[in-house]
Amino acid sequence: MTGKFITIEGSEGVGKSTNIEFISNYLKSKDITTIETREPGGTKTAEEIRRVLLNTEGETVPEIAELLLFFAARSFHIENLIKPAINQGHYVICDRFSDATIAYQGYGRGFDVKDINIIAAWVQKKLQPDLTILLDAPAEIGMQRAKNRGSIDRMETEDISFYERVRQGYLELANEHKDRFVVIDASQSLKLVQAEILFHLDRLLE
């Protein structure tokens, strides 16, 4: 029995965590076993790397170290959680995956996307999401929602142009990988966002 791998992408505050819970509840109502996880993180060591990546205090994180640490955490996550869960027939719902590295470190920081894809191929081997839901909204909307929610981490201290590049990067990725990406307007009401999510989940389950 083989499970499925669903990833949720988008800038901060667009509603990824909120909708992962919604997706998980829907799949559980269909008697599907789900595992909700996140990047960076998901396993003990990957969560330790997350702390290094998002901490606002201490030693400066060089951009190349940041890029490699996201992939180091991902390797722990894939080998010790994602692949075993899929092989046991579970649905893994993941808050961000390699598309985030292309959007943030590629389009945001300016690393060459070709180089990122080479590292991604080493780390992921053949693993690709079956469905990637991109929650898309103008950067100001997500930033405002994230601010209303509370404290900010190291990755949330960039200026607005950084997040606009990230958004553009995501939209280009969605256009390039139409086989697995769906784009949902996350500036709409949560009710409308979730109606669209259900439509795409039902298609995946067909």
CB of 48 to ligand Z5A, least distance (A): 15
State how far Cα 150 lies from the chain centre: 20
Coil, strand or helix: which one is 194? Answer: helix
Question: Which range of residues in 32-40, 121-129, 167-175, 176-184 is near ligand Z5A by CB under 6 A?
Answer: 32-40
Amino acid found at 48: E
* Strand boundaries in 20-159, DSSP class E: 34-38, 91-95, 131-136
170 binds ligand Z5A (CB under 6 A): no
Closer residue to ligand Z5A, CB minimum distance, 30 or 149: 149
Question: What does the alpha-carbon distance between residue 127 and residue 121 come to, in Å, rounded to a whole number?
Answer: 9
Amino acid found at 171: L
* Number of shown-chain residues binding ligand Z5A (CB under 6 A): 28
Question: What does the alpha-carbon distance between residue 106 and residue 156 come to, in Å, rounded to a whole number?
Answer: 16
Applying the rule CB under 6 A, the residues between 33 and 92 that interact with ligand Z5A are 38-40, 70
- x/- site string to ligand Z5A, residues 119 to 138, per CB under 6 A? --------------------
193 binds ligand Z5A (CB under 6 A): yes
Residue with tokens 């290094």: 52
Closer residue to ligand Z5A, CB minimum distance, 59 or 206: 59
Cα torsion through 7, 133, 22, 77, rounded to 10: 10
Amino acid found at 143: M
- Applying CB under 6 A, among 4, 5, 7, 13 the residue interacting with ligand Z5A is 13
96 binds ligand Z5A (CB under 6 A): yes
- Applying CB under 6 A, among 69, 146, 171, 182 the residue interacting with ligand Z5A is 146
Question: What does the alpha-carbon distance between residue 131 and residue 183 come to, in Å, rounded to a whole number?
Answer: 11
Contact residues for ligand Z5A (CB under 6 A)? 10, 12-18, 38-40, 70, 95-96, 100-101, 104-105, 145-146, 149, 153, 155-156, 186, 189-190, 193
